[in-house]
Amino acid sequence: MISNAGQKRGIDQTSVLHPKRTRGSGVATAAVNKISHIALSEEQQDLKIRILDFVKRSIASKEHDKPDVFLINGDAGTGKSVILNSLFNTIQKLSRTTNDEVLSQTNNYLVVNHPEMLKLYREIAKQFPFIKKADLERPTTLINKYANEGRPIDVLIIDEAHLLSTSKDAFKRFYQENHLEELLRICKVAVLVFDDKQSLRMGSYWGVNSADGASLSYYLSQERVRDFQVHQLKKQFRVVAQDDLLQWINDISTNKKINPLPIKDALIGGFEFKVFESCQAMYDMIKARNAEYGQCRILSTYDFPYRLDGADYFVYSESDEFKLRWDRYLPQITIPWSEREDTIDEVGSVYTIQGFDLNYAGVILGRSLQYDPLTDSIKVKPEFYDDHAGFTRKKNIHNVATVREKIVLNSLNVLLTRGVRGLYVFAFDQALRERLLLGAPSIVAVRK
């Protein structure tokens, strides 16, 4: 049930994160429910039907020298994964339980190059008799599996296509040059979702028409695909906020522009947005919200040291007493980081939270994001961004400085778009913090 407080805040019941009883699996996680139990909107349902028709026409065709591709383009929170899960479940049902003249007995896969999202899909699969664990793979695993077995793939669903590798990675046993190129070679029809604002590493850097690295337009050109269709999702389902807040997030995380703090939601008691002068105060409020709603966490840009050596590493503020450890790497745990009770005492990174929701997100803008008084805008300082592996130079990256800045801004966009009920912000850089709070009314500014 939605609480009275939630009703007063104007929150849609379908967007509230809460556990739900499911067949044979006890209590499902909120992340599972988000993808598998929320009814599709009219636009999403129409899109699913359109894609299913596209897939059937493609499989029925006798020409498969080139794959057919359907692209779903959309920002974070526009429901891309929800559509894919529903679509894949329907395709596998038609393949395994019906005499559908086109899709019966077809060989189909869903791939995602994100270990936490793959865990999520495998948890979802437990609830659907038509989807098997073996239907869900990382792209490298599927490419290597095809090389060994050679069985043609009919329908390939690709979630988070902006995370596909765009260069060789021998450490991860990917020996070719581009995931998407190899995946298109082994399927008859591909359905993929893409958001160029979520590319986070040079080794998987994508743009729509990028001259700096891998270009989606190039890999989906007429020379490579037979039929190509695209749909742009625009309706925001996660951050259900007024237009001034959505614009504020977009401008600061894409073109470094600092707009006046948005206040429309505060005036109507909707989505809760606040900027804090004290990081500790932000954490205290996140803990209070977590006690009330659950799934409220602190997140930060990757601007504090972190190593996979079993030790604890910390995120801190120089302006107050705040100090909290980074999230611990625990791949054996299948429950998403955002839903584990103990992680209220941790700070999540972009890799921890990408693809997942929170009720309230408290976001620390770290040292790589500073204030430029000459342009009255964000100044990106990649030298303070501690994800050194993300900046490993690849031969297909041409304008390295531009791509580094884009990666930092992309990480900011991911973090700012996690909250369903609210977003809190604290800037590590004092000048940026003062600029954000300059002239801000008390309904959105929390000062010491």
pLDDT at 412 over 60: yes
d(CA 274, CA 281): 11
CB 25 within 8 A of CB 126: yes
Based on the fold, state whether residues 183 and 280 are members of the same structural domain.
no
Place 98 in a pLDDT band, splitting at 50, 70 and 90.
confident
- Total domains in the chain come to 2
State the residue range of the domain holding 410: 243-446
The least confident of 92-106, 231-245, 377-391 is 231-245
Based on the fold, state whether residues 207 and 257 are members of the same structural domain.
no
Based on the fold, state whether residues 291 and 229 are members of the same structural domain.
no
pLDDT at residue 38 in the model:
67
Residue 215 CB neighbour total at 10 angstroms = 18
pLDDT at residue 271 in the model:
96
Based on the fold, state whether residues 131 and 68 are members of the same structural domain.
yes
Which sign, positive or negative, has the C-alpha torsion 416, 337, 198, 430? positive
Please list, in sequence order, all residues whose beta carbon lies within 8 angstroms of the beta carbon of residue 142, skipping any fewer than 6 positions away. 109, 111, 153, 183, 186
Please list, in sequence order, all residues whose beta carbon lies within 8 angstroms of the beta carbon of residue 90, skipping any fewer than 6 positions away. 48, 52
Place 1 in a pLDDT band, splitting at 50, 70 and 90.
very low
Looking at per-residue confidence, does 378 or 126 come out higher? 378
In a domain, 27, yes or no: no
d(CA 137, CA 205): 21
For residues 399-416, give the mean pLDDT. 96
**Domain-terminating residue out of 233, 252, 271:** 233
Lookup: tokens for 290: 């977590």
Place 3 in a pLDDT band, splitting at 50, 70 and 90.
very low
**Domain-terminating residue out of 179, 214, 233:** 233
DSSP-based three-state secondary structure for 239: coil
Looking at per-residue confidence, does 16 or 232 come out higher? 232
pLDDT at residue 152 in the model:
85
pLDDT tens string 184-236: 999 999 999 999 999 999 999 998 888 898 999 999 987 889 999 999 988 77
- For all residues of the chain together, what is the average pLDDT? 88
Based on the fold, state whether residues 248 and 330 are members of the same structural domain.
yes
pLDDT tens string 304-349: 999 988 899 999 999 999 999 999 988 888 888 998 999 999 999 9
d(CA 106, CA 154): 6
pLDDT at 102 over 50: yes
Based on the fold, state whether residues 219 and 325 are members of the same structural domain.
no
Residue with tokens 């614009």: 247
pLDDT at 27 over 70: no
Contacts 24+ apart (CB under 8 A), 52-60: 52/87, 52/90, 52/91, 54/189, 54/227, 54/229, 55/91, 55/103, 55/155, 55/189, 55/191, 56/102, 56/103, 58/188, 58/189, 58/227, 59/102, 59/103, 59/106, 59/154, 59/155, 59/188, 59/189, 60/102
Looking at per-residue confidence, does 271 or 10 come out higher? 271
pLDDT at residue 5 in the model:
30
pLDDT tens string 222-257: 788 999 999 998 877 778 899 999 999 999 999 999
pLDDT tens string 51-80: 999 999 999 987 888 999 999 998 887 788
For residues 117-141, give the mean pLDDT. 90
Strand (E) or helix (H) holding 73:
strand 68-74
For residues 361-381, give the mean pLDDT. 98
pLDDT at 35 over 80: no
Place 283 in a pLDDT band, splitting at 50, 70 and 90.
very high
pLDDT at residue 255 in the model:
95
d(CA 305, CA 430): 20
Based on the fold, state whether residues 224 and 259 are members of the same structural domain.
no
Please list, in sequence order, all residues whose beta carbon lies within 8 angstroms of the beta carbon of residue 133, skipping any fewer than 6 positions away. 122, 125
Rg (CA), the chain: 22
In a domain, 21, yes or no: no
pLDDT at residue 273 in the model:
98
pLDDT at residue 22 in the model:
37
**Domain-terminating residue out of 213, 233, 253:** 233
